[in-house]
């Protein structure tokens, strides 16, 4: 390993676009499950060549040697935005069409081990306990990592039995975006939340400061950057919001210098200018994957218990999703609800369709049930049956506005219906126990607690972490008690 040569190469990479204000061409970072097999094959070969040329060792070394200055402090997000961007630019030296994918891990929150991302198709799975935790499949099988010594890539899924505990859901990420009115409130919740959970869940090298050995690191941090970018665009005033402390105890300022790479924090704040010539594909149509339902399946999107705007009372919307409850119109950047619903969620939607139709029809004073079809209607029909009701009716239950994505349906519903009307679960409590009994089998799990030693290693304030963790626990309790069923359960 010759760091002199690689430092010269990274200097050339750093020079790319450093003085540019606009981007002549913008690449699209795709969620890894949206990357085609051919694309992933080309990307994987580029990553293989990068490792052969010492780049993974270089990035791991930089991350490890500067760990105390870039974790648990304000610069965590801008520094890692730059870090992932430089990795992407380096990869393009080996494959000019490389676009760093992101892994929306929250989508896999309830049972991460079942994610196709953690199979041979994408990132590979757990390490082999009988062989020092070396990975046995995926793009990095057989690699020799050069830092901190020559060894295989190690993974040790954190339950210790080849599984991973639950972590934060897309709904919880959306809660963080909507309830954080300042950078100082948002950044610690993100760093100690889904960011920490994925690192700790995968374990092995990912649980160390040389975590950039694992390709999963870069896909994960592309996602962390995507979430931050959504938060930056969720409110006016968020774009350049920056506060907190630096590693030396001083107050963080936009004029602060970025460790290692140079340039001010302010120069790292906007995606789509300077060298940050990328965007994200997180507003596509309902996706399909091995453990997901076909894109033509609509019962989940139109089920009122699976839409935040219709499943929750107005008081809960104000508490957890104030930008849905009080903004007019709601901002789509404040909703991070991906497309790709689990088979279990579809199972619930289909089972609940007839029960919900009866409740909705009763609340809207619809015609006799005797005219209904003997077969259970789709949840899409339920929404259509109620769509002619007065949006200002305070007694009729709320039903979703059906759209082609979960996010757009949630926002359109928040902008269209009377949010103070009762949720369907509230109506069910007074008319039928069938729905509550069914819902009880589809409750959201709690995110696992991050070990104290990992938090301390990353400089994360334990009191701040505990406060944020308790918010997540209360959030899960409140959504479960409200009868909400996650599309990602």
Structure confidence by residue, pLDDT tens digits, 432-448 = 578 888 999 999 999 99
Residue 22 vs residue 229, higher pLDDT:
229
| Contact by Cβ (8 Å): 353, 377 | yes
Question: 3-class DSSP state for residue 291?
Answer: coil
Is residue 355 very low, low, confident or very high in pLDDT (cuts 50, 70, 90)? confident
Helices (H), 279-396: 299-302, 308-311, 314-320, 322-325, 343-363, 379-386
What is the rounded average pLDDT of the residues 42-69? 98
181 burial type by CB count under 10 A (0-12 exposed, 13-18 middle, 19+ buried): middle
Report how far residue 272's alpha carbon sits from residue 333's, in angstroms, rounded to the nearest whole number. Answer: 16
Q: Which of 171-175, 272-276, 384-388 has the lowest mean pLDDT?
A: 384-388
**Residue 135: both structure tokens together:** 């990975």
What is the rounded average pLDDT of the residues 140-152? 98
What is the rounded average pLDDT of the residues 40-68? 98
| Contact by Cβ (8 Å): 261, 82 | yes
**Selection from 30, 110, 94, 29 nearest residue 56 by Cα:** 94
- Mean of per-residue pLDDT scores for the chain: 87
Is residue 155 very low, low, confident or very high in pLDDT (cuts 50, 70, 90)? very high
Q: Which of 244-258, 264-278, 388-402 has the lowest mean pLDDT?
A: 388-402
Most confident segment among 4-13, 346-355, 373-382, 418-427: 346-355
What is the rounded average pLDDT of the residues 285-308? 64
Angstrom distances, CA of residue 487 to CA of 319, 338, 349: 21, 9, 9
Is residue 359 very low, low, confident or very high in pLDDT (cuts 50, 70, 90)? confident
The β-bridge partners of 151 are: 145
**Residue 259: both structure tokens together:** 């460790």
Is residue 297 very low, low, confident or very high in pLDDT (cuts 50, 70, 90)? low
DSSP 97-156: T----B--GGGGTT-GGG-GGGSTTTT---EEGGGTTEE-SSTTTT--B-SSSSBPPB--
Q: What's phi and psi for 331, nearest 5 deg?
A: -90, 125
Is residue 368 very low, low, confident or very high in pLDDT (cuts 50, 70, 90)? very low
Q: Please name the residue that has the structure tokens 């290693």.
A: 457
Under 8 Å CB-to-CB from 54, ≥6 apart: which residues? 1, 2, 3, 5, 6, 146
Residue 252 has pLDDT above 70, yes or no: yes
Q: Please name the residue that has the structure tokens 């003085």.
A: 19
**Model pTM score:** 0.89
Residue 336 has pLDDT above 70, yes or no: yes
Question: CB count, 10 Å around CB of 430?
Answer: 8
Q: Please name the residue that has the structure tokens 């200097």.
A: 11
What is the rounded average pLDDT of the residues 383-391? 42
Is residue 428 very low, low, confident or very high in pLDDT (cuts 50, 70, 90)? low
437 burial type by CB count under 10 A (0-12 exposed, 13-18 middle, 19+ buried): exposed
Report how far residue 357's alpha carbon sits from residue 372's, in angstroms, rounded to the nearest whole number. Answer: 10
Residue 397 has pLDDT above 70, yes or no: yes
Residue 434 vs residue 29, higher pLDDT:
29
Residue 117 has pLDDT above 90, yes or no: yes
Residue 373 vs residue 121, higher pLDDT:
121
Query: In the prediction, which pLDDT does 2 show?
Result: 34
**Selection from 310, 273, 258 nearest residue 415 by Cα:** 310
Report how far residue 278's alpha carbon sits from residue 349's, in angstroms, rounded to the nearest whole number. Answer: 36
**Selection from 173, 177, 188 nearest residue 245 by Cα:** 188
Query: In the prediction, which pLDDT does 161 show?
Result: 85
Report how far residue 153's alpha carbon sits from residue 405's, in angstroms, rounded to the nearest whole number. Answer: 37
Report how far residue 452's alpha carbon sits from residue 100's, in angstroms, rounded to the nearest whole number. Answer: 31
Angstrom distances, CA of residue 95 to CA of 166, 216, 485: 35, 19, 42
Is residue 429 very low, low, confident or very high in pLDDT (cuts 50, 70, 90)? low
Domains of the chain: 27-287 (1.10.1280.10)
């Amino acid at each position: 390993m010759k760091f002199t040569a690689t430092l010269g190469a990274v200097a050339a990479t750093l020079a790319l676009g450093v003085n540019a204000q606009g981007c002549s061409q913008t690449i699209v970072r795709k969620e890894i499950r949206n990357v085609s097999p051919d694309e992933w094959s080309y990307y994987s070969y580029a990553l293989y060549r990068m490792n052969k040329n010492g780049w993974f060792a270089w990035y791991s070394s930089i991350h490890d040697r500067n760990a105390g200055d870039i974790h648990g402090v304000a610069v965590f997000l801008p520094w890692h935005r730059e870090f992932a961007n430089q990795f992407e630019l380096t990869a393009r030296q080996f494959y000019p069409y490389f676009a760093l994918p992101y892994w929306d891990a929250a989508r896999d929150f309830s049972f991460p081990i079942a994610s196709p991302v953690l199979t041979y198709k994408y990132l590979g799975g757990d390490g082999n306990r009988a062989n020092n935790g070396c990975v046995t499949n995926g793009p990095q099988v057989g690699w020799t990592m050069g830092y901190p010594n020559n060894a295989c890539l190690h993974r040790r899924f954190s339950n210790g039995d080849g599984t991973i505990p639950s972590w934060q859901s897309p709904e919880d990420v959306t809660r963080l975006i909507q309830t954080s009115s300042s950078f100082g409130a948002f950044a610690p919740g993100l760093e100690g939340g889904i960011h920490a959970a994925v690192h700790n869940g995968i374990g092995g090298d990912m649980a160390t400061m040389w975590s950039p050995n694992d390709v999963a690191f870069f896909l994960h941090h592309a996602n962390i950057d995507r979430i931050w970018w959504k938060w930056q665009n969720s409110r006016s005033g968020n774009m350049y919001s920056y506060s907190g402390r630096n590693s030396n105890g001083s107050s963080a300022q936009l004029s602060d210098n970025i460790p290692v790479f140079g340039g001010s924090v302010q120069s790292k704040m906007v995606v789509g200018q300077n060298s940050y010539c990328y965007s994200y594909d997180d507003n596509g149509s309902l996706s399909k994957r091995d453990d997901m339902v076909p894109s033509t399946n609509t019962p989940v999107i139109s089920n009122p218990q699976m839409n935040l705007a219709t499943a929750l009372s107005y008081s809960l919307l104000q508490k957890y999703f104030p930008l849905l409850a009080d903004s007019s119109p709601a901002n789509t950047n404040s909703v991070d609800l991906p497309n790709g619903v689990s088979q279990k969620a579809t199972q619930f939607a289909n089972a609940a369709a007839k029960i919900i139709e009866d409740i909705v029809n009763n609340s809207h004073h619809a015609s006799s049930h005797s005219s209904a079809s003997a077969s259970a209607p789709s949840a899409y029909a339920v929404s259509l049956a109620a769509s002619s009701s007065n949006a200002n009716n305070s007694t009729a239950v709320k039903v979703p506005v059906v759209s082609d994505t979960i996010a757009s349906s949630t926002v359109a519903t928040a902008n269209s219906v009377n949010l103070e009307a009762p949720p369907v679960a509230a109506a069910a409590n007074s008319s039928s126990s069938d729905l509550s009994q069914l819902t009880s089998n589809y409750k959201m799990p709690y995110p696992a607690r991050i070990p104290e030693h990992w938090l301390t290693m990353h400089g994360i304030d334990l009191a701040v972490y505990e406060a944020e963790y308790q918010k997540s626990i209360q959030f899960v309790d409140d959504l479960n008690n409200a009868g909400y069923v996650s599309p990602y359960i």
